[in-house]
Structure 1
Amino acid sequence: MEKYNMIIVDSDERYIKNLMNYINKNYSNIFNTTCFTDYLYMEEYIKKQKKTEIILISLELFKDNISKLKDRFVIILTESLSEYDGHSCIKKYQSAEKICKDIIKKYEVDGKNIEDNKDTNVITFYSPIGGIGTSTLAISTAYSIGQMGKKVLYVNLENIQSTEIFLNNFPKSKYNLSDLIISIKNRSNNFSEILNSSINKYSDLEFYYFGVTDSILDIEELTYEDIKDLVENIQKVNLFDFVVFDLPSTLDTKYYSLFQKSNNVFISIGQDKRSNYKIDTLLTQLDNTENFLFIVNKLNNKKEQLFPRIVSINAKPVIQTINFYEDIEGIYDIDKCFEICSEFKEDIEQIANNVLDY
């Protein structure tokens, strides 16, 4: 039988200790078990944990926002309920043996459907403003999502790609993004094989990326249909929880399909008139911007902060404001940026949490 990672959350320390001891003694071949008596500690742990199939939690500690963890299977310990807020329940006060059997049965019936139906969320970072730091935001957010235990693929679609300067450990895979683009253009049936042979894994994180393209023409020659197929094929192989696309500042109609397919499109904006003009122009050119979220980047508090007119009038969501941090200006290595500037790291983690909470 497959082995499952399970978290038990209950404020009754004696109860949770006895249950965990029984599981470790009799079901260690089925469950890897971690327990908490505080919901917030569990929530912090689960953001960093690579994989947790089951959360067994007491009713009094259950929180509505736990349902945001779409790839987790939640079972609630109650005295008599069979279901609560759409989640399965089992009786708390029964034999530990019966509890274990109920957990296995419920997960085998209902829990695996959550894993099987899990979609790869598509996240896109874009800005018409060159030099505003969009690539830094995109790759840092993908990196942070990987630190939180989610499997994330970063895809840089700039003509001249900057991926190498952000990562201090850049191994070479058998193929790179150019090979994947060829597979897409040829509409070949070996996409999954090429994808697996093209991605690089960064350090011990679930953060994956491509080696840079062989030629800038590889990106330039992509069409609307190519990008549409690229996104759909990445989702179809279902290897990742998230795929983060990093677009060039040039607005090209071939990227419209990516805007449409994205769960969220993060638009980085500045605080000056030129920046505002470009953002307003962008928004007037697009028919549907409901999935657009805005990030003010490199904010200088000593200068006047101006917002794009259309963003202000339509109350578009500005989900994060990131200050200009002089300590990391000119430093691109993500590890070093996070180490030197904890404020920047926290800003990026808030964006990553926004992605996870979608």
Structure 2
Amino acid sequence: MSLRIAICVQNKTYADRLKKYWDKNYRDKLEVSVFSDFEYMAEYLKKYSADFVLLEELWKEKVESLEECPPYALLTKQEYYLEQKQEVPALIRMYQRGDELYKEVIREYANSGQIKKEVNVSAKKEKECRTYVFLSAGGGRGASTVSEAFARRCAKQGKVLKLDLQFCSGMETSVKKLDDILFALKSRRYILTLKLEADVRISEGGVATFGICENPIDLLHVSREEMRQLLKAIEESGDYNTIIIDMDGILGEKEREILCCADRIVCVADESRECANKFQRLYQAILALQQLEKQEIISKMAVFLNKFQSSVRPAKYGSEVDVCGFAVKYKEAEQKDIIYTMEATADFSNI
């Protein structure tokens, strides 16, 4: 069932344009009714029902006087306003992009605590989705940089979500919404699909992300079952063609689930002997995991050679695993510049 929203604003042209945009882009997720008079909306709410109400600030006292008032937020024309406390009705900026306004409404509805279980704004769609996992056998090999460049390359052909599940991520980002997703996953699972849609951000490279955990300890408490539920919810949303996971090269419970669910496991390595030795230990650990899980994992593995300087490109790394791509060594460059260059020039053809 779609989320039923009632919009009440004096500017009917604004309301009609917003409804038209939402009907076009979120037809399977929203049922929108618009009103320019509060009394008409109040009568409508008596006869029918709404899951969420969006109305101008001038009707704040009236909406609070309703006997049965659904969750609501106030539209403000102010360009900037102070962050409101939780007990105060949320303020949403009136004049902003329709997709951003949609996300704010979904976020406030999820935070309201009055969610009806039959409402599902993330209706399942039929869309093929592949999951790629990037890791390394030791730090400093460039797995995060390679995964970001690959994500940006994939985003040119479809919708991509990148999950940064490293305990101490080195990626530069101001987005720190992953904590909210994990909170919904652990304590309020019924709002998870709402949070997945409301808290996602699109990077300038076109990649969807929840950013990193502001408190990395939260990642340590994610169970295997919770990780399974998270990946399932993301895939069943139908919003993405590709999921890219950047994770540590350890084999805890949630990491084991990720490796079992992945379509492709890319281990980023370089040409050093130290890296080759660490990779052998990781390979043996994953081989043991495969026997324990009784599920094929090794066949999904491949090595991406980063910081490559040799003249001959090997087909195998060691004697066991195929090499799926190459990137040359970039000297004295910032991470973001390396990502831009790698996106354009690296060989990702066999991933």
Structure 2 length normalisation: TM-score?
0.56
Once the two structures are superposed, what CA deviation does each residue of 1:5-54 show, in whole Å capped at 9, x if it has no partner?
xxxxxxxxxxxxxxxxxxxxxxxxxxxxxxxxxxxxxxxxxxxxxxxxxx
Cα distance, 1:135 vs structure 2: 0.3
Cα distance, 1:143 vs structure 2: 1.4
Q: Residue 149 of structure 1: which of 153, 157, 172 is its match?
A: 157
Counterpart CA distance in 2 for 1:269 and 1:312 is 11
Identify the residue that residue 323 of structure 2 maps to in structure 1: 318
Once the two structures are superposed, what CA deviation does each residue of 1:118-168 show, in whole Å capped at 9, x if it has no partner?
23211110112210000001111111211x231101110111223325xxx
The question of 1:183 aligning with 2:184 is answered yes
- RMSD value over aligned CA atoms? 2.7
The question of 1:158 aligning with 2:166 is answered yes
- Aligned ranges for residues 123-138 of structure 1 at < 5 Å? 123-138=132-147
Q: Secondary structure at the match of 2:182?
A: helix
Identify the residue that residue 209 of structure 2 maps to in structure 1: 209
Amino acid in the other structure paired with 1:198? D
Counterpart CA distance in 1 for 2:279 and 2:299 is 15
Counterpart CA distance in 1 for 2:164 and 2:233 is 16
Cα distance, 1:249 vs structure 2: 3.4
Q: Residue 290 of structure 1: which of 291, 299, 303 is its match?
A: 299
More helix by share: 1
Amino acid in the other structure paired with 2:149? S
- Aligned ranges for residues 254-333 of structure 1 at < 5 Å? 254-286=254-286, 287=290, 288-301=297-310, 311-314=317-320, 316-326=321-331, 329-333=332-336
Once the two structures are superposed, what CA deviation does each residue of 1:86-116 show, in whole Å capped at 9, x if it has no partner?
xxxxxxxxxxxxxxxxxxxxxxxxxxxxx95
Amino acid in the other structure paired with 2:152? Y
Identify the residue that residue 232 of structure 2 maps to in structure 1: 232
Q: Secondary structure at the match of 2:299?
A: coil
Cα distance, 1:187 vs structure 2: 5.6
The 8 Å contact of residues 181 and 192 in structure 2, kept in 1 or not, is answered as yes
Counterpart CA distance in 2 for 1:253 and 1:116 is 29
Counterpart CA distance in 2 for 1:177 and 1:226 is 14
Counterpart CA distance in 1 for 2:350 and 2:191 is 34
Amino acid in the other structure paired with 2:280? D
Counterpart CA distance in 2 for 1:273 and 1:132 is 13
Q: Do the aligned partners of residues 186 and 338 (structure 1) sit closer, same or farther apart at CA in structure 2, a change above 3 Å counting?
A: closer
- Aligned ranges for residues 10-89 of structure 1 at < 5 Å? none
Identify the residue that residue 345 of structure 1 maps to in structure 2: 343
Runs of 4+ more than 6 Å apart:
304-308
The 8 Å contact of residues 146 and 339 in structure 2, kept in 1 or not, is answered as no
Q: Do the aligned partners of residues 212 and 301 (structure 1) sit closer, same or farther apart at CA in structure 2, a change above 3 Å counting?
A: same
Counterpart CA distance in 2 for 1:211 and 1:130 is 20
The 8 Å contact of residues 320 and 347 in structure 1, kept in 2 or not, is answered as no
Q: Secondary structure at the match of 1:267?
A: strand
The 8 Å contact of residues 315 and 322 in structure 2, kept in 1 or not, is answered as no
Counterpart CA distance in 1 for 2:159 and 2:281 is 35
Q: Secondary structure at the match of 1:137?
A: helix
The 8 Å contact of residues 137 and 279 in structure 2, kept in 1 or not, is answered as yes
Amino acid in the other structure paired with 1:144? R
Identify the residue that residue 78 of structure 1 maps to in structure 2: none
Counterpart CA distance in 2 for 1:292 and 1:346 is 24
Amino acid in the other structure paired with 2:319? I
Q: Identity rate of aligned residues, in percent?
A: 16
The 8 Å contact of residues 150 and 206 in structure 1, kept in 2 or not, is answered as no
The 8 Å contact of residues 273 and 306 in structure 1, kept in 2 or not, is answered as no
Cα distance, 1:206 vs structure 2: 3.8
Aligned length: 219
Structure 1 length normalisation: TM-score?
0.55
Counterpart CA distance in 2 for 1:277 and 1:306 is 17
Counterpart CA distance in 1 for 2:126 and 2:211 is 30
Amino acid in the other structure paired with 2:255? Y
Counterpart CA distance in 2 for 1:122 and 1:300 is 29
Counterpart CA distance in 2 for 1:299 and 1:241 is 29
Q: Secondary structure at the match of 1:244?
A: strand
Once the two structures are superposed, what CA deviation does each residue of 1:257-294 show, in whole Å capped at 9, x if it has no partner?
11111111111112122211111111112223111111
Counterpart CA distance in 2 for 1:138 and 1:248 is 13
Once the two structures are superposed, what CA deviation does each residue of 1:290-344 show, in whole Å capped at 9, x if it has no partner?
1111111112339x99998xx4333x21011222121xx44112xx3366x4xx3
Counterpart CA distance in 1 for 2:339 and 2:162 is 18
Identify the residue that residue 118 of structure 1 maps to in structure 2: 127
Counterpart CA distance in 2 for 1:161 and 1:210 is 13
The 8 Å contact of residues 272 and 305 in structure 1, kept in 2 or not, is answered as no
Identify the residue that residue 222 of structure 1 maps to in structure 2: 222
Gaps of 5+ in 1: 1-114
